[in-house]
Structure 1
């Protein structure tokens, strides 16, 4: 009888272990297995007024679409122990030289390990002296005309960040001209320079793109200078798709 009792208890223990294992895993990693992203918005040059609005919008997107969001302007987050917590890093309107050499190395290793990057608007006006970053973000800002309405051509509507957009998208924003455009980027949106004044990149003037880079993923949108952008559902879905692409399967 004792042997039979012990056998029953052993079987019950094994059964309970299989039932409870998923809950124990969830507890070990927090209350949910949500991916977490870091939104970085340090500026060492021009500071965009839409930074606060952009942070709020991304946090709201996270709550609605299943990812957690930390925001910072503290470059010390760029160390291995901190970065390993994040599925992706978003450079939101960063400008100028925002990371030191040690922090740059940590970020390079983070991307090389298969992580994701998303850049918004002035992310291309950042780290001109760091060629690796220039290749990652995909281009560098060179100039812009006054804010005005222009026609965007959505050249790739198969991507998660553009599949909801019309083929021709007319909107007002601040339109960047670029230099040192990475030849490996996959262009999602171009701007029609005949639809506004001040463009200098010619017939193929990219405004949003993505690419695999040095082991990781990179997505960039030039759009988002204006605060009004973050109340525009088409733009928000575009931004969400870019973040989701950067997160990937991390």
Structure 2
């Protein structure tokens, strides 16, 4: 990799926090091009933490395997410098966020790209981004981004303990590409997010916690509460898919989760 004329190895790139992007040109074989962007400010989830050895993070490795099998060209970045202008966004058919805090991307460029027909996918911690004012990677201050919260469909507000007995998820839309493989319910062991500023009247909820079949105490949930875990939204011509799953390493290697995520990506790219 070259940075300002200096050749940088993959290991050094990871240590310096720069991206692992390859050529920015559109693939000539017609493959859809996807970026997994996982910059974390504040809390960094272990699945997207790159080891000091310079290897890719666990989620990046698994996601590459998933995309290779699905026929997508995939790229990775943990640097906001790769999303600073509209041309950088336009390099990709879909952009997957696994972020936290307020990365210093070009906000207007993202909105323009999405409105023009981009596919935006959020995984797990993505709803923990831009929900409040926060410190930036460069040491400055960044304001919250209300329009982002409306687009992604909700804001992280907390989570309970991970229950080894699992949480029962009821599937509200059994025909959607992201959930049609799940049947009536899906029992998972993962970190279950709570959200506020949920826009149920604007988003299309695909699945949520079944409060009648789940032990609510370790989750800190209420019997009459509403806990959506995956949904879709639109913005202009763009499609938005979010799943709250994906905290744990073993969730990423779970074939059902992989089908769920790939189904959401396919829908965001235009599949019915």
The corresponding residue for 2:41 is 44
8 A contact 2:27–2:73 mirrored in 1: no
Q: 1:89 to 1:170 in 2, by over 3 A?
A: same
| Post-superposition offset of 1:244 | 1.3
Q: Structure 2: which 5+ residue stretches go unaligned?
A: 1-24, 49-56, 132-143
The corresponding residue for 2:90 is 84
Normalized per residue, the structure richer in helix is 1
- State the SS of the aligned residue for 1:189: strand
8 A contact 1:152–1:169 mirrored in 2: yes
- Indicate the structure (1 or 2) with the bigger Cα radius of gyration: 1
| Post-superposition offset of 1:192 | 1.8
8 A contact 2:26–2:91 mirrored in 1: no
Tell me which of 105, 112, 117 is aligned to 2:115: 112
Matched, 1:125 2:147: no
**C-alpha separation in 2, matches of 1:224 and 1:42:** 16
Tell me which of 53, 56, 59 is aligned to 1:54: 59
**C-alpha separation in 1, matches of 2:242 and 2:262:** 12
**C-alpha separation in 1, matches of 2:146 and 2:88:** 24
| Post-superposition offset of 1:66 | 1.1
Matched, 1:205 2:211: no
The equivalences for 1:1-250 within 5 A come to: 30-51=27-48, 52-78=57-83, 79-92=85-98, 94-100=99-105, 103-128=106-131, 129-148=144-163, 149-182=166-199, 183-194=201-212, 195-196=214-215, 197=217, 198-200=220-222, 202-248=224-270
| Post-superposition offset of 1:203 | 4.3
Q: 1:104 to 1:200 in 2, by over 3 A?
A: farther
8 A contact 1:142–1:177 mirrored in 2: yes
8 A contact 1:208–1:221 mirrored in 2: yes
- Using the size of structure 1 for normalisation, the TM-score is 0.83
| Post-superposition offset of 1:247 | 2.1
- Using the size of structure 2 for normalisation, the TM-score is 0.77
What CA deviation, in whole Å up to 9, does each residue of 1:147-192 have, x standing for no partner? 1121100110111111111211111111111110123110100102
8 A contact 2:33–2:94 mirrored in 1: yes
Question: What is the alpha-carbon root mean square deviation over aligned residues?
Answer: 1.7
**C-alpha separation in 2, matches of 1:137 and 1:91:** 11
